[in-house]
Amino acid sequence: MAKVLVVDDEPNIVLSLEFLMQQAGFEVVTAEDGESALTRVAEAPPDLVLLDISLPGISGFDVLERLRANPTLTRLPIIMLTAHGREVEREKGLALGADDYITKPFSTQALVDKVKTLLDESAA
Amino acid sequence: MSPPVGPPRRQHLIGAWLLLSGLSLFGGAFLALWLESRLAPAGAERIALWGGCLVGAGLLFLLGLLLERRLFAPLRHLQVQIARMVASPDARDDYRPEGWLSGLGPDLLRLREHWRQDRSQLAGAHAAGARGAARIRQELEALLQVLDTPLLLCDRHRRLLLFNQAAEALFSEHPGFGLGKRLEGLFDLASLSEALDRLPADGTSRELLVPLKDRWLHGCLRRVPNSDHETLITLTDSTAAWHCEMDTRVRLTECLTAVRRHGAGLSSAAEALGHLHSSTHATNRATNRATGHKHDQETQLPAAPSIPSHEALPAASLGSREAPLSSRLADIIDEESQGLGQAIDQLGKSLEALQRQGERLAPLWSNDLWQALNDHLAGSSLVLTPIGMPAWFKADAPALLVMLEALTSRLGELAEVRHLDAEVCLGNRRVYLDLIWLGTPMTQHQLAGWKALRLDALPLSPRIEDLLHQHDSDLWSLQDPDGRHARLRCPLPAVERVGAPLTRPSPRPEFHDFGIADLPPPEAELAACPLAQLEVVAFDTETTGLALRQDDRVISIGACRIVNGRLLADDTFDVRVDPGRPIPPASTAIHGLTDSDVLGAPPLSQALPRFRDYLGDAVILAHNAAFDLLALQSPGAEVALNMPVLDTLLLSRALDPSLDGHDLDSLADRYALSFAEGTRHTALGDARVTAELWLAMRTRLEARGVQTLADALALQSSAFDHQDASA
């Protein structure tokens, strides 16, 4: 079973996402800020990361950059989640190495589809 | 042009007359002596013989005297009279022709009266017309002057023809501001030249951001229809009031972010609820219906392991009684949250579009920005080199400039570099401003710290992050593919109409293909300039004495300017100069300046460059220019005054070679000009009279076919040659 790390500081969204991802058949690990996300990844690298940009402490971009700086994680699929919805943020996220970018509010079905596609690609 | 013809010079005439009289006298005396030796007459015969021989000489002498008194002197007076009538027709000190010309008196009187009558009638008609025009002009001037918008009008050569009070206030300290001065002196901008070259003829405007010291002006350029390529420029100070709008935008953006977050929570929860519903429903049905379906139950349950049974059970029991209503409500929540999501997306797009089209963001030419940034960085050791293709983009230039200044100086410190490259890359609907250095990229963590910095140089001290928001922008750092360079990237909205690189060769207007090389050089253009349109600076110097080749020096330079045939009242140059030696009392007796008057004054080496700046593109005018120019070429002052020089002394000699008295006082008297009280022998006073003398002479020059600067210089040099030949 593929393991997905959900990083978001909104407990309401984390709860819903966790349930829905489990429904879709994934193993879900959560983190509520950037530091704990990095710790989770260090403990046991997940197969995919759903990463919110606005996090307390270090930002999602910061986490993304540090993950990508680790040579063993360069192929780890990372999907950015944001409540800003600015086109320039999308560009920035992709420039810093994110694989995809989803603006809140999002359709869970679309999110699940994206996660599945990315996992298939990284497995290939 | 032939040299002017007039009566022979008085000295020549008197010389010829005395010579002839002398020759006849001696000739007569020799004849008398010879006849006496041959004939040896006596008494009355001898007296008659001498008388007969000398009578010729006597007659010649008397005739000469008669001619000078009765003809030549009156002729010269008549010449002065006519010159005065032409130069200053309304001077009243008339006198009648004398001697044999006195017969001309009534005619001359009649001629003069008619001439004055015609002039006064003409002046009357002119005044009536002028009054009407003046009234309209006054109204227009009043309108212009009360207009708050700074306004400039320039001609096809980009010389300033008109400005209003608001513009004057804006440029009050600027040395490049003044009538007749070129726009390039005011704004040294490639983009301005480019925009002026491409201005449409139909009066459609072009907009441009123009830096002026610490401010940015939003300029609107348009060609004045039906004019000779005149351009009207209106300016708005865009440094003020931008923060108000920015504030609103920031709040709107923050608000939208919150709405997005809550929307996401809502829709995810709704979807989760929907799933929960369908699964518990299925479970309920399964347990309710039969006992033989354990298999189904087992496949369903692991799917929702995290749902505690105490939460599932009430829903299940609820579902058992009111399943249709609760599932309908869940559907409604799901549906509404989806609708909410779509509306939020729409709102976000609108806000982004608003940001892009924000009127605070005006088109800006990248090279202008880099140039302004380098000017701002001039105090630090950091140098920015623009590379690649320049491009247009949209920005709130003053804010962007302050932000980039803060970023570059911090980047310089952090990366320990003194040299940064600046490049503009074109993206999709965006232009990237990249700062490039030798080293590794910055981390998001470092950038987050920078983004929180407040810029105190701007109103309301916004954070860098706020400015980035205002530009719908962000910052990130990348490693170049070469692995050695890193860049800091700041995306900005592209200007739609010039999205393609501006340097792309465009179809050239015809005048670019023909002609630039065929155009007359600027010097030739000046030479062909009509005298009436010539910009002239009249100047005069006062010195410690006349021995400039020894140790006499300049103590004062005064100058005034003639533009378009008018002596400008307050556009003057009046500077005292420290001669570096005591002023002799004999010299003080002339100009009144003492050692204490020049105490603390700059030396010539400092005063001369200022004078050169004042001259600008004007032609020099002086009375006996050779002296004043020599005075300015004293040792230690290496400033070239290489423009054409007009000399009223030489011009006057060329105009009236048969008259005596070409000094400034005589000419002022001849042309009925007066010195303002106490200004004779002050540099500025003399310069002013020289300027007025030039204006009076110009009429007479034009009457003789001397129309252009080249003509005047040729005439002047003919007088110079003449003087040399006779010296």
CA distances from B723 to B28, B472, B654 (A): 37, 76, 10
Q: Which residues pair with B424 in a beta bridge?
A: B433
Is B183:B154 a contact under the CB 8 Å cutoff? yes
Both structure tokens of A17: 């996402």
Digit-coded pLDDT (tens) for B684-705: 999 999 999 999 899 889 888 8
- Residues of A in Cβ contact (< 8 Å) with B272: 15-16, 19-20
Run of H or E residues at A74: none
Edge-first strand order for the sheet with B485-493 is B383-387, B419-426, B430-438, B485-493, B476-479
Residue B435 pLDDT exceeds 90: yes
CA distances from B437 to B440, B484, B721 (A): 8, 9, 67
Backbone angles phi, psi at B235, to 5 degrees: -125, 145
Asked if A62 is an interface residue toward chain B (Cβ–Cβ < 8 A), one would say: yes
Asked if A16 is an interface residue toward chain B (Cβ–Cβ < 8 A), one would say: yes
CA distances from B364 to B225, B394, B433 (A): 26, 6, 12
Burial class (CB in 10 A: 0-12, 13-18, 19+), B550: exposed
More confident residue, B280 or B76: B76
| Cα of A41 to nearest chain B Cα, Å | 19
Digit-coded pLDDT (tens) for B193-223: 777 877 888 888 888 777 676 666 788 899 9
pTM comes to 0.44
End-to-end Cα separation, chain A, in angstroms: 16
B316 vs B167: CA distance, rounded Å: 79
B330 band by pLDDT with thresholds 50, 70 and 90: confident
B560 band by pLDDT with thresholds 50, 70 and 90: very high
Q: Which domain holds residue A81?
A: 3-123
- The mean pLDDT value for B486-502 works out to 70
Residue B625 pLDDT exceeds 50: yes
Cis peptide before A105 (omega within 30 of 0): yes
Is B652:B720 a contact under the CB 8 Å cutoff? no
Indicate if the alpha-carbon torsion angle B378, B384, B387, B389 is positive or negative.
negative
Backbone angles phi, psi at A33, to 5 degrees: -150, 175
Residue B524 pLDDT exceeds 80: no
B505 vs B206: CA distance, rounded Å: 20
pLDDT of residue B634: 62
Is A37:A14 a contact under the CB 8 Å cutoff? no
List the one residue out of B593, B562, B666 whose CA is nearest residue B624: B666
B719 band by pLDDT with thresholds 50, 70 and 90: confident
pLDDT of residue B30: 92
B284 vs B267: CA distance, rounded Å: 25
More confident residue, B323 or A96: A96
B519 band by pLDDT with thresholds 50, 70 and 90: very low
Digit-coded pLDDT (tens) for B390-408: 888 888 887 888 899 999 9
B179 band by pLDDT with thresholds 50, 70 and 90: confident
Asked if A68 is an interface residue toward chain B (Cβ–Cβ < 8 A), one would say: no
Which range, of B206-215, B257-266, B286-295, B427-436, averages the lowest pLDDT? B286-295
Pairwise CB contact (< 8 Å): A83 & B271 = no
Is B553:B544 a contact under the CB 8 Å cutoff? yes
pLDDT of residue B646: 92
With helix as H, strand as E and coil as C, how does B655-707 read? HCCCCCCCCHHHHHHHCCCCCCCCCCCCHHHHHHHHHHHHHHHHHHHHHCCCC
| Cα of B272 to nearest chain A Cα, Å | 6
Both structure tokens of B45: 């015969």
More confident residue, B517 or B480: B480
Mutation site, B276, B277, B311, B444, interface A, largest A CB count within 10 A: B444
pLDDT of residue A64: 92
pLDDT of residue B437: 92
Low-confidence ranges of chain A (pLDDT < 50): none
- For B269, name the nearest residue in chain A, comparing CA atoms only: A16
Cα dihedral B337→B343→B348→B353 (10° resolution): 170
Residue owning tokens 């009076």: B696
- DSSP track, B562-575: EETTEEEEEEEEEE
- What mean pLDDT value characterizes chain B? 80
Digit-coded pLDDT (tens) for B351-360: 777 765 555 6
pLDDT of residue B516: 32
Strand blocks (E) in B260-371? 362-365
Residue B506 pLDDT exceeds 90: no
CATH value at residue A78: 3.40.50.2300
Asked if A59 is an interface residue toward chain B (Cβ–Cβ < 8 A), one would say: yes
More confident residue, B314 or B263: B263
B145 vs B138: CA distance, rounded Å: 10
Residue B666 pLDDT exceeds 80: yes
Pairwise CB contact (< 8 Å): B263 & A104 = yes
| Gyration radius (Cα) of chain A, Å | 13
Split into its structural domains, chain A has a count of 1
B92 band by pLDDT with thresholds 50, 70 and 90: low
- The mean pLDDT value for B386-393 works out to 83
B577 vs A60: CA distance, rounded Å: 69
B286 band by pLDDT with thresholds 50, 70 and 90: low
Residue B561 pLDDT exceeds 80: yes
